[in-house]
């Protein structure tokens, strides 16, 4: 009986945690789409594999532009800062793409990609809902 009570208590706690988490996040498809490209290129580059970013830098630019052009969720409070950082993300993505097309060294690519990764994480930190 005690085990069933414990399982039920844990289930209720888990459901509550998931519900609160879902309420604190607003969906933004374009952010998630950019994140896929970022994670699939940045993490391999960290480990010395530059093929993914060399092959997908144009895709990263495209996803950055789509994110910038998309509507910012209405419940986000840092709209001005989000717009500013999205502009920088697009600009820096284009710069990296041009460098890659001119056969930049892995060191240059990693430095620029790391900067883009930092801008991305700044944006994620800004994606907070207003207090209701």
The number of distinct structural domains making up the chain is 1
**Distance of CA 22 to CAs 16, 18, 70, 81, 126, Å?**
10, 6, 21, 23, 17
Residues 73-109: tens digit of each pLDDT: 999 989 999 999 999 999 999 999 999 999 999 999 9
- For residue 19, being part of any structural domain is answered with no
Measured at the alpha carbon of residue 42, what is the angle toward residues 25 and 90, in degrees to the nearest 5? Answer: 70
Q: Which of 15-24, 42-51, 121-130 has the lowest mean pLDDT?
A: 15-24
Q: What is the 3-state secondary structure (H, E, C) of 66-131?
A: HHHHCCCCCCECCHHHHHHHHHHHHHHHHHHHHHHHCCCCHHHHHHHHHHHHHHHHHHHHHCCECC
- For residue 6, being part of any structural domain is answered with no
Average confidence score pLDDT of the chain: 86
Structural domain harbouring 48: 26-126
What pLDDT does residue 129 have? 79
pLDDT for 9 beyond 70: no
**CATH number, position 85:** 1.20.120
Output the pTM of the full model: 0.78
What pLDDT does residue 126 have? 93
**pLDDT: is 1 or 93 the higher one?**
93
- For residue 74, being part of any structural domain is answered with yes
- For residue 64, being part of any structural domain is answered with yes
- For residue 37, being part of any structural domain is answered with yes
């Amino acid at each position: 009986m005690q085990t069933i009570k414990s399982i039920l208590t844990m289930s209720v706690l888990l459901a509550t945690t998931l519900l609160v988490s879902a309420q604190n996040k607003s969906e933004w498809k374009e952010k998630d789409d950019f994140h896929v490209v970022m994670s699939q290129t940045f993490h391999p580059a960290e480990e010395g594999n530059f093929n993914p970013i060399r092959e997908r830098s144009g895709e990263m630019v495209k996803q950055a532009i789509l994110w910038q052009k998309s509507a910012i969720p209405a419940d986000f409070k840092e709209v001005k800062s989000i717009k500013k950082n999205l502009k920088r993300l697009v600009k820096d993505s284009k710069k990296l793409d041009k460098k890659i097309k001119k056969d930049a060294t892995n060191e240059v690519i990693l430095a620029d990609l790391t900067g883009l990764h930092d801008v991305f994480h700044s944006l994620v930190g800004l994606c907070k809902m207003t207090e209701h």
